[in-house]
Structure 1
Amino acid sequence: MTSLNFNDQNVILRTISDAPPTHYTVKIQSVSLLTKNSLEKYKSGDFETGGYKWKLAFYPNGNKNKNVTDHTSLYLVMSGSNAPQISSEVYAVFRLFLLDQNNRNYLVFEVLIFAKHRLIFLYAFHVHFLEQKEMRFHGLKLEWGFDLFVPHGVFTEASNGLLIDDTCVLGAEVFVSKESSTGKGECLSMLDGESYDSKVFTAGDQKWKIQLYPKGKSNGVGTHLALYLALAEPKSLPRGWKIYVEFSLRLLDQVHARHQFITLGHFKQASMGFVLKDTCFVEVEVTVHGITSDCSQIVKQ
């Protein structure tokens, strides 16, 4: 299902996804007690992504400060001591999730904007392209989201699966695109080099990194995008040791939420949603099943 709400140049896109949120999921039990205890909103715990801490703010009966009475409201909030000050800004794109507990899929909300520089005139018709909108977080504006998230009647109707046994499940994906002060980020930009390495991360007590070859590698040079999981410090692994790992690599479709491997032609095509503003996002899930060592080395010791 796809629904577009037009508000000036902003578009709220509602889709359904089988994939769970990448960065954070929170299960809220006894939602009705929030109202009974005169609590207007629920704030989740902090989660970290893109070098910043975030949380979700959920208003089950609507944000009264925005005069919302017939919808639930949901917002992404910057939190923690590393939230930007008034003089600095952080730009991020995000998607917020609500689980349909009956069908085990997610209702996904995101903000898009018309890409004016890609407006095409085709005979008598205008062809508009949409791209994810970067939301600007700063000291005077630490939250963005949806005042009219889901109609209250739709949310509370059990047959819709959004609130079951007085419990709902929310989630978020957040991608920091740029900062006005430090220039840090979790994205790969200027995709014209031979290869790019992600920041180092830890899984199974080992340090890893993602390697992206935007022009391909080996037999795929010039035809396919290449993406690898690699040990960040391979020389630190003792001689004769082997690591058995199960992993999945994904290239994020920033528009349609389809994650897949594609040819370079599709990768570079703006309307496909994999590259927006010369930026793409990749992610990996890593499970270390075991490590074997060289027994002869152990005996000698």
Structure 2
Amino acid sequence: QVALGMGYYGSGGRFVLFLGTVVVLVLLLVTLVQWVRTLSSLGRMSNTLEKIEGAASEALVSYWRSPLLGAGPAPAVAEGERRGRPVYARRVAYVRRIDMDALQAYADDNEARVHVRVRPGALVYPGAELAWVEFDVSDEELAGTADEDAPQDDAADDAIGESLRHVLDAFYFGAERSFDQDPRFGIIVLSETAQRALSPAVNDPGTAIDVMNRMTRLLIESQQAKGASPAAASAAREHDRVTMVPLDEPGLVFDGFAPIARDGGGTLEVMLRMQRLLSMVAASSRAGTVARAARDMAVRAHAVGKEHLAVQADLDALDAEHRRLFA
């Protein structure tokens, strides 16, 4: 303002200053509108469900692209025939994430193979086996430069124990589960939202139906994402010295739909929608385990509905829908 009063700017300068002021005001106005819109959506159920669905979708797509986190399948070895040393958990916690790159680097450096026995999302306790490490060299060779005056067995055990701490460090623990490497967690969180909606205090079957729609979309579309084919999954092995136990894929279906069937068994519209959605999953799933689980869940939900629906007309409608879809 002082510069303008002194005539510091010419006509061209004043015009540029005017345009700059207008641009700044427009940007401020747009930012304010966006912020108000964000504030208005915070706390809405639809906004919460979208965020949960987004996180669950990323985890599921990542799973179908690499079901074993880039590792190989766990070997089929009887418990008494295993070679190697176990790595145990030291506290009660959830496995939130596993650093597969660190395990591969450890295995390369120590001429070993790391067989991971838990997946992210598992609740472990002190003494629970996280992994077992199979060394290509003998215990004596692994002891390396251990004290020559110490008994050889003790030297080897000390060296191996120190070495296995690096394996334990590749496991990240926490009091709560994480979406990152845990595809079942997102389904569980969505299902819990539906359970609360079906509680007598809320009695909102519409939200439960919305949640089931989202779970169905997740189960089907995540398998159809780019790079999520079985061939791509089999070629996704990046860690040739690490193996991983498989995910309980039927749990993707049962974790989501079984609690809703239990709490919504007496609500006809919920049970009818569940039958239709499970038929979609059974028909569209590329994974046979998920398709079979959807059919089994439909039978289970049908049985729950027959126990809870009090009106004969509702029972007849559920029977007819189940026979139409799964006969």
- TM-score class, shorter-chain normalisation, is under 0.3
Larger-Rg structure: 2
> What TM-score, normalized by structure 1, do the two folds share?
0.21
Structure having the higher helix fraction is 2
More strand by share: 1
Greater relative contact order (Cα 8 A, min sep 6): structure 1 or 2?
Answer: 2
